[in-house]
Chains A and B, each alone.
Chain A
Amino acid sequence: MRNILLKELTLSASPLPYLFILFGLMFFVPGYPVLCGAFFVCLGIFQGFQAAREANDIIYSALLPIAKRDVVRGKYAFVLLIEAAALVLMAVVMVLRMTVFAQAPVYLNNALMNANGFALGMACVLFGLFNWIFVGGFFKTAYKFARPFVVYIVVAFTVILIAESLHHVPGLAVLNAFGTDHLAMQMLLLCAGLCCGILMTVLACRKACLRFERIDL
């Protein structure tokens, strides 16, 4: 597993997935739907898949002395690593906004979602959806990725729209907590989002392994 992950990191990946991790910094942007940062991180990974396909990466990997399912696991491991790096960046920004910048007027007058525990949890959900819809969809053929990515765009922006609007619903204002307000609730929402993301990824990876075993390359 270590070898296939190293191969993904050094040979298969283009620079874009690494560069697009920086979109995690969008958690700093006031008056902007911060969850778009998570979407852009996924866009970078998508570009990486495109470059890998042009380099005949999947067939090269399938010929390596590993089980075919490890090709899929290697891709998922790479995707998770990029997403984890972006989540760490987002988490750092979230903590800064919850502490150092808790009283910054630019954030206090923010009509959109705050970069809080709920936002980070929703970023995990967006990553989970990407792993399920796009990565899982790609391994139906190990070739076609336009359709799964278009489906992911539609689903991701629907989820972003809902997440950004929820705190305007009466009784759900807590979702937009500032600073360390409702900290327990924020952490609970973060854990719930993380669990959703992990569950979607694990199920998608298992299914993708089975699909990849069956398809003809």
Chain B
Amino acid sequence: MSIVEVQGLTKSYPAFTLRDVSFGIEEARITGFIGRNGAGKTTTIKAMLNLLHPDSGEVRYFGKPFLGNEAEIKKRIGYSTGTVSWYPRKKLRQIAASGRRFYDTWDEAAYQQYLAMFQLDEEKTPRELSEGMKVKFNLLLALSHRAEVLILDEPTSGLDPFSRSELLEIFTHLKQEGVAVFFSTHIISDIEKCADDILYISHGELVAAASKEAFTERFSEDGESLEETMLRLERGTWHA
């Protein structure tokens, strides 16, 4: 059974509709959620976190519906985004100190370990951090409360190739520790490098949800790289 089950998410806006999105996230696997800008990735993620209300559909974590088990589930998941930073003028130490009160699962040793691994200075403020370090700080908070699922919205956006590569290596390390990593991106090479499973969304519809191998087998033509496949699919010239 998937540890995260998304069933039939539908959300209509005047100019965009997310249609019947369903998929699962597996334990100790990296799932890449790919689609071009405006395809519906952030809408899906926000619905998964109850930050917006779908017109229909349900999200279950660890076999339980999110609604009604919100506090318990949020203790077991972590969220990070590459585009938003919290409290830009507060010191990282203050933000972490405030956050740790909410988690009885907070692991101070893990916090210190990841703090050192990510080379974060607690006396700095988020506004003094690079985009990559901001993502790492959000990851630090999530990992310190022993999140079993990480939901990351565009964590690699705006990162230089070195930081991106470093972050993807961290994902692989986390996977080895049993964490399910779910990240959205529009950068195909990120998926190619570390994802086990691919979710491909286009114009609000989930086109494919499969392991990377199954995805390639189904959609790629001979000698085609994943990037070429995705670009062809996005141009609408694909045939299953």
A contact residues vs B (CB 8 Å cutoff): 3, 6-7, 10-11, 54-57, 59-60, 62-68, 214, 216-217
Contacts and interface: CB of A to CB of B under 8 A. Distances in A.
Contacts of B71: 65-67
A11 B87 contact: yes
Contact of A11 (B49, B51, B90): B90
A56 B70 contact: no
Given A65-B72, A68-B70, A60 B52 contact: no
A122 B84 CA distance: 42
Give the interface size class of chain B: 20 to 34
B102 interface: yes
Given A6-B98, A216-B53, 5 more contacts: A55-B87, A55-B88, A56-B85, A64-B99, A65-B73
Contacts of B52: 216-217
A68 B53 CA distance: 13
Contacts, number: 64
Given A3-B102, A216-B51, A60 B74 contact: no
A52 to B, nearest CB: 9
A59 B51 contact: yes
A66 B102 contact: yes
B53 A214 contact: yes
Interface in B66-94: 70-75, 79, 84-90, 94
Interface of B: 46, 49-53, 70-75, 79, 84-90, 94-95, 97-99, 101-103
Nearest to B101: A3
A6 B75 contact: no
A65 B76 CA distance: 9
B77 to A, nearest CB: 9
Contact of A56 (B53, B73, B74, B84): B84
Contacts of A57: 86-87
A167 B83 CA distance: 56
A62 B66 CA distance: 13
Tell me which of A10, A63, A217 has the highest count of chain B C-beta atoms within 10 A of its own C-beta.
A63
Contact of A59 (B84, B89, B97): B84
17 contacts: A3-B101, A6-B98, A7-B101, A10-B94, A11-B94, A11-B98, A55-B86, A55-B87, A64-B74, A64-B99, A64-B102, A65-B71, A67-B71, A68-B70, A214-B53, A217-B46, A217-B51
